[in-house]
Copies of this chain bind each other. A is one copy, B any other.
């Protein structure tokens, strides 16, 4: 038993979709969340910048006494985590859990990965899937507009459908039966994506896969909490809140006021 909190971070608030899933499968855990809203989005930035930002985000979470960290961000998991050395506090990403879930779900061994430009360029999901299923046929598509469409309330808009149809054409052409939604924003687009791909294609939600993976790790390592009334704290890096509406969209519940931190003052380890 270990009642220390789980740390979760993301470039912004999309990672709250993962928090929602963690609360579902691990209802007795304290959670501390950090969203780097002063520098969101990460997906189109260079690897150097993404790694630098991720290190600062991790350092901030380590300033609390936590037991494990989830990088609930496809871009950080793909681009930065492979470059960040192991340390006392384990940092888990969304790539491995999603790859495991996709390999379990596929019947025709044709898997597609949707992600930000950084995620797709890194080939991280491809590498992880190939480890588990060397003969998998993988189609990888960068979908840079998806995050903006979600954040601006266009999740079910006709414009999103038009853009999704173009992004997903190759997925249909290549006959994938399983699609990894490789960014924590994308579950908000499930309706539109299913409309384009048809109902028979399995959509892998990275937040859900990561939450199940976290549960497995904590259970195996005998580190599950037994808190009856766990607490949730939410930090953002922009100077002011004002993100409550967007946060509610992802978390599907009220989360009270967000606390601000000055990420420039966080020193990397």
A239 touches B144 (CB 8 A): no
Give how many A residues have a beta carbon under 8 Å from the other chain's beta carbons.
Answer: 26
B48 touches A239 (CB 8 A): yes
CB contacts (< 8 Å) of A148 on chain B: these are 145, 148, 152
A47, A148, A154, A240: residue with the most chain B Cβ atoms closer than 10 Å: A148
Closest chain B residue to A46, Cβ basis: B240
In the complex, A257 has a CB within 8 A of chain B: no
CB contacts (< 8 Å) of A46 on chain B: these are 238-240, 242
CB contacts (< 8 Å) of A149 on chain B: these are 145
A154 partner, pick from B49, B163, B238, beta carbons under 8 A? B163
Copies of this chain = 2
Shortest Cβ distance from residue A141 to the other chain B in the assembled complex, whole angstroms: 14
A159 partner, pick from B45, B159, B238, beta carbons under 8 A? B159
A239 partner, pick from B52, B145, B154, B240, beta carbons under 8 A? B52
Q: Determine the distance from Cα of A157 to Cα of B264 in the docked complex, in whole angstroms.
A: 38
B152 touches A158 (CB 8 A): no
Closest chain B residue to A50, Cβ basis: B239
B163 touches A45 (CB 8 A): no
In the complex, A39 has a CB within 8 A of chain B: yes
Q: Determine the distance from Cα of A8 to Cα of B154 in the docked complex, in whole angstroms.
A: 34
Closest chain B residue to A159, Cβ basis: B159
| New A-B contacts (10) at CB < 8 Å, excluding given A38-B39, A145-B152, A157-B162 | A37-B45, A38-B49, A46-B239, A46-B242, A48-B240, A145-B149, A157-B163, A158-B159, A159-B159, A159-B160
Chain A interface (Cβ < 8 Å from any Cβ of B): 37-39, 45-49, 52, 144-145, 148-149, 152, 154, 157-160, 162-163, 238-240, 242, 264
Interchain residue pairs A-B with the least CB separation, the first 8: A48-B239, A46-B240, A159-B159, A148-B148, A159-B162, A46-B239, A49-B239, A46-B238
